[in-house]
Structure 1
Amino acid sequence: MNRQNILSGSPWEDKMGYCRAVRIGNIVEVSGTVAIVDGEKVKADDAYAQTNNIIERIAKVLEEAGASLNDVIRTRIFTTDIQYFDEIARAHGAYFLGIKPTTGIYEISKLVSPDYLVEIEFTAIVQ
Protein backbone atom coordinates (compact mmCIF):
# COMPACT_ATOMS: atom_id res chain seq x y z
CA MET A 1 0.00 0.00 0.00
CA ASN A 2 1.10 3.53 -0.70
CA ARG A 3 1.94 5.86 2.15
CA GLN A 4 1.23 9.58 1.89
CA ASN A 5 2.91 11.82 4.45
CA ILE A 6 1.34 15.24 4.84
CA LEU A 7 3.76 17.82 6.22
CA SER A 8 2.73 21.16 7.70
CA GLY A 9 6.11 22.88 7.52
CA SER A 10 6.53 22.95 11.29
CA PRO A 11 10.19 22.90 12.36
CA TRP A 12 9.21 20.21 14.87
CA GLU A 13 8.52 17.75 12.05
CA ASP A 14 12.22 17.34 11.25
CA LYS A 15 13.38 17.82 14.82
CA MET A 16 11.07 15.12 16.16
CA GLY A 17 10.72 12.98 13.06
CA TYR A 18 6.97 13.16 12.47
CA CYS A 19 4.45 14.62 10.06
CA ARG A 20 1.05 16.24 10.53
CA ALA A 21 -0.82 13.31 8.99
CA VAL A 22 -0.27 9.95 7.34
CA ARG A 23 -2.60 8.26 4.88
CA ILE A 24 -2.23 4.57 4.13
CA GLY A 25 -5.00 3.09 2.03
CA ASN A 26 -8.23 4.66 3.20
CA ILE A 27 -7.01 5.44 6.74
CA VAL A 28 -5.79 8.91 7.73
CA GLU A 29 -4.18 9.47 11.13
CA VAL A 30 -3.56 13.06 12.21
CA SER A 31 -0.94 13.90 14.82
CA GLY A 32 -1.85 15.76 17.97
CA THR A 33 -2.44 19.35 16.90
CA VAL A 34 -2.51 22.52 18.96
CA ALA A 35 -3.84 25.93 17.97
CA ILE A 36 -1.85 28.76 16.50
CA VAL A 37 -2.12 31.20 19.39
CA ASP A 38 -1.79 34.67 17.88
CA GLY A 39 -3.01 36.74 20.83
CA GLU A 40 -5.78 38.30 18.73
CA LYS A 41 -8.15 35.78 17.15
CA VAL A 42 -6.80 32.89 19.24
CA LYS A 43 -5.75 33.73 22.79
CA ALA A 44 -3.90 31.63 25.34
CA ASP A 45 -6.89 31.68 27.70
CA ASP A 46 -9.61 30.82 25.13
CA ALA A 47 -10.24 27.07 24.86
CA TYR A 48 -13.15 27.60 22.43
CA ALA A 49 -11.03 29.60 19.97
CA GLN A 50 -8.15 27.13 20.28
CA THR A 51 -10.41 24.14 19.58
CA ASN A 52 -12.00 25.95 16.64
CA ASN A 53 -8.57 26.86 15.21
CA ILE A 54 -7.37 23.27 15.48
CA ILE A 55 -10.39 21.82 13.69
CA GLU A 56 -10.30 24.48 10.94
CA ARG A 57 -6.63 23.70 10.28
CA ILE A 58 -7.13 19.94 10.33
CA ALA A 59 -10.00 20.22 7.85
CA LYS A 60 -7.39 21.54 5.38
CA VAL A 61 -4.95 18.73 6.25
CA LEU A 62 -7.67 16.15 5.69
CA GLU A 63 -8.49 17.74 2.34
CA GLU A 64 -4.84 17.38 1.32
CA ALA A 65 -5.12 13.69 2.25
CA GLY A 66 -8.24 13.28 0.10
CA ALA A 67 -10.57 13.25 3.11
CA SER A 68 -12.85 15.64 4.98
CA LEU A 69 -14.25 16.16 8.45
CA ASN A 70 -17.14 13.91 7.35
CA ASP A 71 -14.65 11.03 7.24
CA VAL A 72 -13.49 11.51 10.86
CA ILE A 73 -14.38 8.50 12.98
CA ARG A 74 -12.47 9.41 16.17
CA THR A 75 -11.08 12.45 17.94
CA ARG A 76 -8.94 12.43 21.05
CA ILE A 77 -9.00 15.70 22.94
CA PHE A 78 -6.38 16.59 25.54
CA THR A 79 -6.78 19.62 27.79
CA THR A 80 -4.71 21.05 30.59
CA ASP A 81 -7.89 21.90 32.52
CA ILE A 82 -11.11 19.89 32.32
CA GLN A 83 -12.99 23.01 33.46
CA TYR A 84 -12.77 24.06 29.79
CA PHE A 85 -14.97 21.08 28.84
CA ASP A 86 -18.02 23.17 27.87
CA GLU A 87 -16.01 25.52 25.64
CA ILE A 88 -14.18 22.63 23.98
CA ALA A 89 -17.41 20.66 23.53
CA ARG A 90 -19.20 23.65 22.00
CA ALA A 91 -16.46 24.14 19.38
CA HIS A 92 -16.16 20.40 18.68
CA GLY A 93 -19.93 20.10 18.38
CA ALA A 94 -20.11 22.96 15.88
CA TYR A 95 -18.18 20.78 13.43
CA PHE A 96 -19.12 17.26 14.46
CA LEU A 97 -22.74 17.40 15.68
CA GLY A 98 -24.01 15.73 12.50
CA ILE A 99 -20.97 13.48 12.03
CA LYS A 100 -20.67 12.19 15.59
CA PRO A 101 -17.21 10.55 15.65
CA THR A 102 -16.22 8.64 18.75
CA THR A 103 -14.23 10.83 21.09
CA GLY A 104 -12.56 11.14 24.44
CA ILE A 105 -11.48 14.15 26.42
CA TYR A 106 -8.59 13.83 28.83
CA GLU A 107 -7.12 16.24 31.34
CA ILE A 108 -3.33 16.16 31.25
CA SER A 109 -0.77 18.04 33.32
CA LYS A 110 0.89 20.05 30.51
CA LEU A 111 1.25 20.59 26.81
CA VAL A 112 4.43 21.74 25.07
CA SER A 113 3.70 25.42 25.84
CA PRO A 114 1.65 27.03 28.62
CA ASP A 115 -0.24 28.94 25.89
CA TYR A 116 -1.86 25.69 24.73
CA LEU A 117 -5.03 24.57 26.48
CA VAL A 118 -6.11 21.95 23.92
CA GLU A 119 -4.52 19.36 21.65
CA ILE A 120 -6.54 17.07 19.38
CA GLU A 121 -5.73 13.89 17.42
CA PHE A 122 -7.96 12.73 14.56
CA THR A 123 -8.58 9.43 12.78
CA ALA A 124 -10.44 9.38 9.47
CA ILE A 125 -11.46 6.62 7.10
CA VAL A 126 -11.99 7.76 3.53
CA GLN A 127 -15.15 6.27 2.07
Structure 2
Amino acid sequence: MTIKRIHSGSPFEEKIGYCRAVVAGGFVHVAGTVGQGDTVEEQCRTALGTIGWALRQAGAGFSDAVRVTYYLPTASDFEKCWPILAETFGDNPPVATMIECGLIDAKYRIEIELTALAPVAA
Protein backbone atom coordinates (compact mmCIF):
# COMPACT_ATOMS: atom_id res chain seq x y z
CA MET A 1 0.00 0.00 0.00
CA THR A 2 1.28 3.43 -0.93
CA ILE A 3 1.07 6.17 1.68
CA LYS A 4 1.27 9.84 0.75
CA ARG A 5 1.94 12.38 3.49
CA ILE A 6 0.89 15.98 2.93
CA HIS A 7 2.64 18.70 4.95
CA SER A 8 1.26 22.23 5.13
CA GLY A 9 4.43 23.79 6.50
CA SER A 10 2.95 24.55 9.90
CA PRO A 11 5.73 24.69 12.52
CA PHE A 12 3.56 22.49 14.75
CA GLU A 13 3.81 19.58 12.31
CA GLU A 14 7.53 19.17 12.98
CA LYS A 15 7.31 20.19 16.63
CA ILE A 16 4.52 17.72 17.48
CA GLY A 17 5.28 15.06 14.86
CA TYR A 18 2.31 14.95 12.51
CA CYS A 19 1.33 16.03 9.02
CA ARG A 20 -1.74 17.83 7.73
CA ALA A 21 -3.08 14.83 5.82
CA VAL A 22 -2.27 11.24 4.93
CA VAL A 23 -3.58 9.46 1.86
CA ALA A 24 -3.80 5.73 2.64
CA GLY A 25 -6.19 2.83 2.34
CA GLY A 26 -8.43 4.59 -0.16
CA PHE A 27 -8.98 7.59 2.09
CA VAL A 28 -7.60 11.05 2.74
CA HIS A 29 -7.27 11.53 6.50
CA VAL A 30 -7.01 15.22 7.40
CA ALA A 31 -5.66 16.05 10.85
CA GLY A 32 -7.62 18.10 13.35
CA THR A 33 -7.32 21.65 12.02
CA VAL A 34 -7.87 24.94 13.81
CA GLY A 35 -8.36 28.25 12.07
CA GLN A 36 -7.37 31.83 12.69
CA GLY A 37 -9.56 34.77 13.66
CA ASP A 38 -11.39 36.11 16.66
CA THR A 39 -14.78 34.48 16.16
CA VAL A 40 -15.85 30.88 15.80
CA GLU A 41 -17.14 31.72 12.32
CA GLU A 42 -13.78 33.16 11.19
CA GLN A 43 -11.94 30.18 12.63
CA CYS A 44 -14.36 27.75 11.00
CA ARG A 45 -13.84 29.36 7.57
CA THR A 46 -10.05 29.45 7.82
CA ALA A 47 -9.87 25.86 9.15
CA LEU A 48 -12.00 24.74 6.19
CA GLY A 49 -9.67 26.67 3.89
CA THR A 50 -6.68 24.70 5.19
CA ILE A 51 -8.61 21.43 4.94
CA GLY A 52 -9.68 22.29 1.38
CA TRP A 53 -6.03 22.94 0.47
CA ALA A 54 -5.01 19.54 1.90
CA LEU A 55 -7.80 17.78 0.02
CA ARG A 56 -6.70 19.42 -3.26
CA GLN A 57 -3.12 18.25 -2.65
CA ALA A 58 -4.54 14.74 -2.43
CA GLY A 59 -6.62 15.18 -5.59
CA ALA A 60 -9.89 15.28 -3.63
CA GLY A 61 -12.42 17.87 -2.53
CA PHE A 62 -15.17 18.48 -0.02
CA SER A 63 -17.60 16.48 -2.17
CA ASP A 64 -15.44 13.41 -1.38
CA ALA A 65 -15.79 13.84 2.40
CA VAL A 66 -17.33 10.88 4.21
CA ARG A 67 -16.81 11.82 7.87
CA VAL A 68 -16.16 15.04 9.75
CA THR A 69 -15.68 15.64 13.46
CA TYR A 70 -16.03 19.08 15.03
CA TYR A 71 -14.41 19.83 18.37
CA LEU A 72 -15.55 22.94 20.25
CA PRO A 73 -14.84 24.11 23.79
CA THR A 74 -18.33 25.70 23.85
CA ALA A 75 -21.03 23.55 22.26
CA SER A 76 -23.41 26.50 21.89
CA ASP A 77 -20.96 28.09 19.40
CA PHE A 78 -21.53 25.27 16.93
CA GLU A 79 -24.82 26.61 15.56
CA LYS A 80 -23.02 29.76 14.36
CA CYS A 81 -21.00 27.52 12.01
CA TRP A 82 -23.94 25.65 10.49
CA PRO A 83 -24.45 28.00 7.50
CA ILE A 84 -20.71 27.86 6.71
CA LEU A 85 -20.71 24.06 6.87
CA ALA A 86 -23.88 23.74 4.79
CA GLU A 87 -22.32 26.02 2.15
CA THR A 88 -19.03 24.06 2.18
CA PHE A 89 -20.54 20.60 1.81
CA GLY A 90 -23.57 21.56 -0.28
CA ASP A 91 -25.35 18.55 -1.74
CA ASN A 92 -22.63 16.15 -0.51
CA PRO A 93 -22.73 16.26 3.29
CA PRO A 94 -20.60 13.73 5.20
CA VAL A 95 -21.61 12.02 8.41
CA ALA A 96 -20.70 14.29 11.31
CA THR A 97 -20.08 14.41 15.03
CA MET A 98 -19.64 17.44 17.31
CA ILE A 99 -17.74 17.00 20.57
CA GLU A 100 -17.46 19.58 23.34
CA CYS A 101 -13.91 19.53 24.72
CA GLY A 102 -10.87 21.60 25.53
CA LEU A 103 -8.55 22.51 22.64
CA ILE A 104 -4.76 22.97 22.62
CA ASP A 105 -5.05 26.75 23.26
CA ALA A 106 -7.93 28.75 24.76
CA LYS A 107 -7.87 31.12 21.75
CA TYR A 108 -9.25 28.37 19.50
CA ARG A 109 -13.04 28.09 19.20
CA ILE A 110 -13.26 25.11 16.78
CA GLU A 111 -11.11 22.28 15.46
CA ILE A 112 -12.19 20.20 12.46
CA GLU A 113 -11.02 16.70 11.48
CA LEU A 114 -12.12 15.17 8.17
CA THR A 115 -11.90 11.91 6.23
CA ALA A 116 -12.57 11.79 2.49
CA LEU A 117 -12.42 9.20 -0.24
CA ALA A 118 -9.10 9.28 -2.06
CA PRO A 119 -9.12 9.51 -5.85
CA VAL A 120 -8.76 6.23 -7.68
CA ALA A 121 -5.31 5.94 -9.25
CA ALA A 122 -5.43 5.69 -13.04
Q: What is the TM-score normalised by the length of structure 1?
A: 0.88
Corresponding residue for 1:12?
12
1:111 equivalent in structure 2: 103
Gaps of 5+ in 2: none
Identity %: 33
Could you tell me which runs of 5 or more consecutive residues in structure 1 were left unpaired when the two chains were aligned.
Answer: none
In 1, the alpha carbon distance for the partners of 2:112 and 2:104 equals 13
| Moved >4 Å (runs of 4+) | none
Larger mean Cα displacement after TM superposition, 61-70 or 11-20: 11-20
Q: Could you tell me which residue of structure 2 aligns to residue 72 of structure 1?
A: 65
> What is the rounded CA distance, in whole Å, between the counterparts of 1:11 and 1:60 in structure 2?
17
1:121 aligns with 2:113: yes
| Residue 48 (structure 1) aligned with residue 50 (structure 2) | no
SS state of the match for residue 30, structure 2?
strand
1:25, CA displacement in angstroms? 4.4
* 2:84 paired residue number: 91
Is the 1:48–1:90 contact (alpha carbons within 8 Å) kept by the matching residues of 2? Answer: no
CA distance in 2, matches of 1:94, 1:4: 29
CA distance in 1 between partners of 2:107 and 2:114 (Å):
21
Q: For the residues of structure 2 that align with 1:5 and 1:56, how far apart are their CA atoms?
A: 18
Query: Alignment length, in residue pairs?
Result: 119
What is the CA-CA distance between 1:94 and the residue it aligns to? Answer: 1.4
CA offsets per residue over residues 33-88 of structure 1, 9 Å max, x none?
Answer: 000x2xxxx21xx1111111111221111000111111101100000101112112
> Does the Cα contact within 8 Å between 2:23 and 2:118 map onto a contact in 1?
no
